[in-house]
Amino acid sequence: MNEGRVGVRLNPFKGAAGPAGEAVPWSPWGRLLSERPNFTLDPLLHAGCYYVQDSSAMYAGYVFRRHLPDLQHVARPLRVLDLCAAPGGKTTDLSASLREACGDAFTLVSNEVMRARASVLRDNVALWGDPNVVVTSVDPAVIGRVLPGWFDAVVADVPCSGEGMFRKDPRAEAEWSPAVVELCAARQRRILADVWPALRQGGLLLYATCTYEDSENDANLEWAAAQLGGRICPPDNPFADWGVRQTRCGNLLRHGEVPGEGQWVGALVKTAPAPAPGAKAGPQDLRPILCGVVKGERKGNDFVPDPDYALSLAYEGEYPELELDRAQALRFLHRDALNLPGAPKGYLLLRFEGHALGFVKNLGPRCNNLLPRGRRIRMDV
């Protein structure tokens, strides 16, 4: 029996720097660690060089990459929606997969309806640094109404009864009941029906949960195929030796049988016609809370760089750069007073082991720290 092991997924577009570990067989960037380090005190995490993610949750990325070539026949950049995206694990996995396969020719809309969770999602997307990810916070029905037929793929990791989290979260087990399963299954069908108009005909629905309930997994994907109009993609199972099971419509990972927690993933292709998108339809209609790259803003006579720009893959190298040691990097991330003798005055990009952490304005005797307060390390360093 496998005990739960800590997983991380490296950012291939930031040098794949991060903790060393055993490869996750279904993720080219996933690693299984032998023990849990103190991630908060690793500057590379704050630089967006890797994301802490359970290895089972990486399985959705494998299924997406498996079907991605079937989507690449469109004569425009691909459009993908991560529907229930917080805190950002699948979004960052999808963005790396899309950038590897498509270069810059894609748009990934990462949506989270709960505003508090959307704020966490926005920060994690900013750290990851891909400028082609748009973060929104709207109800799935709004997306279906505003962007009809717009997306080539929708990834829906929907709220569920959470049986796959029982080992990790005793509260999930205490809250479970048959009535909760029934409620979740109905809510999942509503979510799928609401967003369905946004998926083009021939587009891919990737459906995932962290439960073992057939009514929330295979049965709901079968319902979507029959009632909404789709063709279920036959699953494969090259990872049976790692404990992955094959079900009627997808793959099931159970804690104790795989290195991580519980997960179910399946996919279908939409066969029903979708309304044609409007000529001016686009992510801006969803009032995004993060969209593209903002280099900064003019404040008086000063142009102040945006903190996210330091972390972006689109950073163009406009500012002098300074390499910090670990102690200095942690002081910067803690928002402590930082003195940089000998460094040029003005705005500087600070790096740790070659990876950008953020900006300061060096005044000589002291520095103004541009790190957002919400991202600072709160524990003692």
Do residues 216 and 191 make contact, with C-beta atoms less than 8 angstroms apart? no
Q: Which of 261, 286, 311 represents a domain boundary (last residue)?
A: 286
pLDDT on residue 1: 41
Count structural domains, the chain.
Answer: 2
Nearest to 206 by CA among 332, 62, 92: 62
Do residues 119 and 135 make contact, with C-beta atoms less than 8 angstroms apart? no
For 177, other C-beta atoms within 10 Å of its C-beta total 10
pLDDT on residue 32: 98
Domain-located, residue 44: no
Mapping DSSP to helix (H, G, I), strand (E, B) and coil, where does residue 326 land? helix
Domain-located, residue 33: no
Domain-located, residue 24: no
Mapping DSSP to helix (H, G, I), strand (E, B) and coil, where does residue 323 land? strand
Residue 367 falls in the annotated catalytic set: no
CATH number at residue 332: 3.10.450.720
Do residues 79 and 107 make contact, with C-beta atoms less than 8 angstroms apart? yes
Q: Which of 263, 286, 309 represents a domain boundary (last residue)?
A: 286
130 and 231 housed in the same domain? yes
Strand partners, 207: 156, 266
Using only C-alpha atoms, the chain has a radius of gyration, in whole angstroms, of 22
235 and 338 housed in the same domain? no
Residue range(s) defining the domain that contains residue 324:
295-375
Q: What is the pLDDT along the chain (381 residues), one digit of tens a residue?
A: 456 799 999 999 999 899 999 999 999 999 999 999 999 999 999 999 999 999 999 999 999 999 999 999 999 999 999 999 999 999 999 999 999 999 999 999 999 999 999 999 999 999 999 999 999 999 999 999 999 999 999 999 999 988 888 877 788 788 888 999 999 999 999 999 999 999 999 999 999 999 999 999 999 999 999 999 999 999 999 999 999 999 999 999 999 999 999 999 999 999 999 887 766 777 988 999 999 899 999 999 899 999 999 999 999 999 999 999 999 999 999 999 899 989 999 999 999 999 999 999 999 889 999 999 999 999 988
pLDDT on residue 89: 97
Domain-located, residue 343: yes
CATH number at residue 183: 3.40.50.150
Which of 210, 233, 249, 367 is the catalytic position? 210
272 and 303 housed in the same domain? no
Q: Which of 286, 304, 339 represents a domain boundary (last residue)?
A: 286
N residues, the chain? 381
Nearest to 83 by CA among 286, 225, 313: 286
Domain-located, residue 30: no
Token digits of residue 323:
């390499």
85 and 185 housed in the same domain? yes
DSSP letter (8 states) at residue 335: T
316 and 279 housed in the same domain? no
275 and 313 housed in the same domain? no
